[in-house]
Amino acid sequence: MTQSGFTVDVDQNQYLPEGGRDVSAIVTVTSSADAAGVHSAAAGTPASAEIIIIDCSGSMEYPHTKIAEARAATAAAIDVVRDGVWFSVIAGTNTAWPVFPPDGSMAIADVSSRAAARQAVTGLRASGGTAIGQWLSLARQIFGAYPAQLRHAILLTDGKNQHETPDQLQAALRECEGVFSCDCRGVGTDWEVGELRTISAALLGTVDIVPDPSGLAADFAAMMRSAMGKQVADVALRVWTPQHATLRFVKQVAPTVDDLTARRTPSGPQAGDYPTGAWGPGESRDYHVGVEVNPAGVGLEMLAARISLVAGPPSAAELLGQGLVRAIWTDDEALSTKINPLVAHYTGQAELADAIQEGLEARKQGNEEVATAKLGRAVALARESGNEDTAKLLAKVVDVVDAETGTVRLKKKVEDVDEMALDTRSTKTVRVKKAQS
C-alpha cells in the first residue's frame, strides 16, 4: 500500500476504431485497511463533529412506538460517538431547535456528556409539522462554529417536507453542500423517497428505509460507527480532459449509483473536481467516467482523461493517487469492438436503477404497459448481473414469469413498504470480479 493509503485503478478498453470518439472507463478508488488518520487535525482539536437530527413532527406519535424508538435510536447512536468528538442533537418540526447541548453549541463526547445527551433525548415529544430545510440550516449553523474536518449528520424523518416549499429546501441544501455530509433514514411509509434521495445525494450520504421503528436503534448505531470510521475528509476526483474533448459524465457506480456530473467545480485548465465526501479505511468505490475525444489517426495514442484523487481545500489539495484513461486508435476490430466487462456491468447496473425508478413511476401513474416493460427489464438486468438483493425486492412488486427474458406480471396488490424499499434501494449495485488480464 502507498503512503497516501489510496489506490486508483482504471479499467477500460483503450482501443477505438478509426474515427472513434467515445471513451468509457471504470475508476476504482480504494483506501487501505490500515490508513491511519493521515489527515487528523492538530492535537487537541477534535477532527470530527456529529449532529443527529430527529423528526419530532406530530406524526411521529402514530404509532406511539415511533417517537419512542427514535429516542432509543438516538441514544444508541450517542453511545457510539467516540471520546473527543464534537456532537449535538437537534429536534425538527416546522422549525428546529437544539436538544443537546440546549444552547446550540457542540459538546465534546465523554462519559458524562453522552449520559447528559441521552437524558435530554428522553424529553423529546412529537408535535408540529415538517420543514427539513430548517433542520439542515440549523445543523449548518452549529457545524459552522466548529473547525472540525469531518462533519457528518444523521437525519431521521417519517413524513413529507410539508411545511416549506421545495425551493426553500433546495436553497437550504445548496448552503449545506460541502459543509457536512448527511445520511438520511425514512421510517414508516409516509415519507417521500425522491425527497430524501435529493438530500442524501446533495450531501454525499446514504438513504434507506427503516420499515419498522424497532429496527432504528441498530441502524443508527451502525451509521454512527461508519461515520466514526471516516478519516479522510473532502476527497474529490479531479478529472483532466484534453483540449476539444467533452467530459460526458462522471458517476459513482458502486456501492450505489450516484450521478456526479453536475457537481463539477473547475479546478484548473481543462480540469474539474467532483466531490466524493469522506473516506474510511478499507473503503472501495467505483466511478464511471465517459469522455468524448477528437479522433486521431490509427496507431496514435492519447490521454482521454487523467483522474487524480485529491484531498483538502482546492487551493492546497493533496494528491492521493492517480489513474489514466487512454485512447488508442486501431484498425484491428478484434481490439476495438471488445467491450470492457466492468464498463458493461456498470452500464447495466445504472440501467437497472433507471428501469426500477421509471417502472415504479409508471405504475403510480397507472401506465401498466410501461411499468411491466420497465420492471421486466429490471428483473432481467438484476438476474444477469447477479444483483440478488434487488432481484428479491423486485419479486415483491412483480410476479416473475421468466427472469432470464424479463417476463413479468405486475402484482395486483403491493405493500407500500415493499414499493418504497425497492425505490430507495434501486441504486444499490453489485460489483464484479475484475478481469484477470
Partner 1 sequence: MAICPNGHDSASDDFCDVCGMRIATSPGNPQAPAPSPATGIPATGITGTGLPGTGAFSTGAMPAGAMPVGGPPAGQGAPGAPAESCPRCGTARTGQFCESCGLNFAAPPSSAPPVPAPPGPRVPPAAPAPGADARLTWTAVVAADRAYYDQIRTASGVEGEAIDFPAYYAERRFRLAGAQMRIGRRSVSRGLEPEIDLTGPPVDPGISRLHAVLIAALDGGWAVLDPGSANGTLVNGTEVRVGDQVPLHDGDRINLGAWTAITVHRG
State how far the Cα of 140 lies from the Cα of 143, in Å rounded to an integer.
5
32 is an interface residue for partner 1 by CB under 8 A: no
* CA angle at 240 for the pair 237 and 241, rounded to the nearest 5°: 135
CB of 337 to partner 1, least distance (A): 5
Q: Select from 50-58, 105-113, 211-219, 403-411 the region that touches partner 1 (CB under 8 A).
A: 403-411
Of 3 and 112, the one with the shorter C-beta distance to partner 1 is 3
434 is an interface residue for partner 1 by CB under 8 A: yes
Of 26 and 420, the one with the shorter C-beta distance to partner 1 is 26
The binder of partner 1 chosen from 298, 403, 410, 430 (CB under 8 A):
298
The site that binds partner 1 (CB under 8 A) totals a number of residues, namely 75
For residue 154, list its beta bridge partners: 52, 183
* Residue ranges in 12-31 that form contacts with partner 1 under rule CB under 8 A: 12, 14-15, 17-18, 20, 22, 25, 27, 30
Which residue carries 489514466 as its cell?
A: 324
The full 3-state SS of 35-98, as one line of letters, equals CCCCCCCCCCCCCEEEEEEEECCHHHHCCCHHHHHHHHHHHHHHHHCCCCCEEEEEEECCCEEE
CB of 270 to partner 1, least distance (A): 8
CB of 275 to partner 1, least distance (A): 21
Using CA of residue 199, residue 201, residue 205, residue 210, what is the dihedral sign?
positive
CB of 252 to partner 1, least distance (A): 18
Of 116 and 373, the one with the shorter C-beta distance to partner 1 is 373
The binder of partner 1 chosen from 406, 423, 425, 428 (CB under 8 A):
406
* Residue ranges in 361-390 that form contacts with partner 1 under rule CB under 8 A: 369-370, 372-374, 377, 380, 384, 386
Instruction: Give CA separation, 146 vs 120, 138, 183, 203, 244, in Å.
Output: 22, 13, 20, 18, 43
**Chain Cα centroid distance, residue 22:** 27
Contact 92, 54 (CB under 8 A): yes
Contact 91, 99 (CB under 8 A): yes
Burial (CB < 10 A; 0-12, 13-18, 19+), residue 366, is: exposed
The full 3-state SS of 200-236, as one line of letters, equals HHHCCCCEEEECCHHHHHHHHHHHHHHHHHCCEEEEE
Of 189 and 270, the one with the shorter C-beta distance to partner 1 is 270
276 is an interface residue for partner 1 by CB under 8 A: no
**SS3 label, residue 339:** coil
State how far the Cα of 260 lies from the Cα of 252, in Å rounded to an integer.
7
Of 151 and 383, the one with the shorter C-beta distance to partner 1 is 383
Of 23 and 49, the one with the shorter C-beta distance to partner 1 is 23
Q: Select from 102-110, 141-149, 217-225, 243-251 the region that touches partner 1 (CB under 8 A).
A: 243-251
Of 179 and 344, the one with the shorter C-beta distance to partner 1 is 344
* Residue type at position 146: Y
* Residue ranges in 250-269 that form contacts with partner 1 under rule CB under 8 A: 269
**Chain Cα centroid distance, residue 236:** 14
Q: Select from 54-62, 116-124, 175-183, 241-249 the region that touches partner 1 (CB under 8 A).
A: 241-249
* Residue ranges in 46-85 that form contacts with partner 1 under rule CB under 8 A: none
The grid coordinates of residue 53 equal 437530527
* Residue ranges in 300-359 that form contacts with partner 1 under rule CB under 8 A: 300-304, 306-307, 319, 321-333, 335, 337, 339, 341, 344, 347-348, 351
CB of 428 to partner 1, least distance (A): 19
Question: In the Cβ-directed half-sphere of 303, how many Cα atoms lie within 13 Å?
Answer: 11
401 is an interface residue for partner 1 by CB under 8 A: no
Of 109 and 353, the one with the shorter C-beta distance to partner 1 is 353
* Residue ranges in 186-225 that form contacts with partner 1 under rule CB under 8 A: none
CB of 367 to partner 1, least distance (A): 10
